Amino acid sequence: MKKIQSALISVFYKDGLEPIVRALHANGVTIYSTGGTQKFIQDLGIEPVAVENLTGYPSILGGRVKTLHPKVFGGILSRRDMFSDGEQLKEYEIPEIDLVIVDLYPFEQTVASGAAEQDIIEKIDIGGISLIRAAAKNFNDVVIVPAVDHYAEFLEIYNAQQGCTTLEQRHRFAAYAFAVSSHYDSAIFNHFNETEKMPVFQQSVRQATPLRYGENPHQQGLFFGDIDGCFDKLNGKEISYNNLGDIDAACCLIDDFQQTAFAILKHNNACGMACRDSLLEAWKDALAGDPVSAFGGILVTNRKVTKEVAEEMHKIFFEVCIAPDYDDDALQVLKGKKNRIILRRKAFAMPKQMFRNVLNGVLVQDRDTVVPQVDEMKKSVTSTPITDQQAADLAFATILVKHTKSNAIVLAKNGQLCASGTGQTSRVDALRQAIAKAQSFGVDLNGAVMASDAFFPFADCVEIAHDAGIVAVAHPGGSIHDQDSIDYCEAHHMGMAITGVRHFKH
Catalytic residue numbers?
137, 267
Q: Who contacts 486 (Cβ-Cβ below 8 Å, separation ≥6)?
A: 381, 382, 496
Burial class (CB in 10 A: 0-12, 13-18, 19+), 75: buried
Q: Which helix (H) or strand (E) holds 283?
A: helix 279-289
The closest of 386, 378, 374 to 495, measured between CA atoms, is 386
Distance CA(441)–CA(316), nearest Å, equals 17
The closest of 101, 60, 52, 55 to 74, measured between CA atoms, is 55
8 Å CB contact between 390 and 449: yes
Burial class (CB in 10 A: 0-12, 13-18, 19+), 467: exposed
Q: Who contacts 280 (Cβ-Cβ below 8 Å, separation ≥6)?
A: 306, 308, 309, 312
The closest of 214, 253, 209, 211 to 229, measured between CA atoms, is 209
Cα Rg for the chain, rounded, in angstroms?
Answer: 31
Q: Across the strands, what pairs with 100?
A: 8, 144
Distance CA(252)–CA(405), nearest Å, equals 13
Distance CA(430)–CA(410), nearest Å, equals 9
Distance CA(85)–CA(91), nearest Å, equals 10
- Say how many C-beta atoms besides its own lie within 10 A of residue 280's C-beta: 17
Distance CA(32)–CA(52), nearest Å, equals 10
Distance CA(398)–CA(258), nearest Å, equals 15
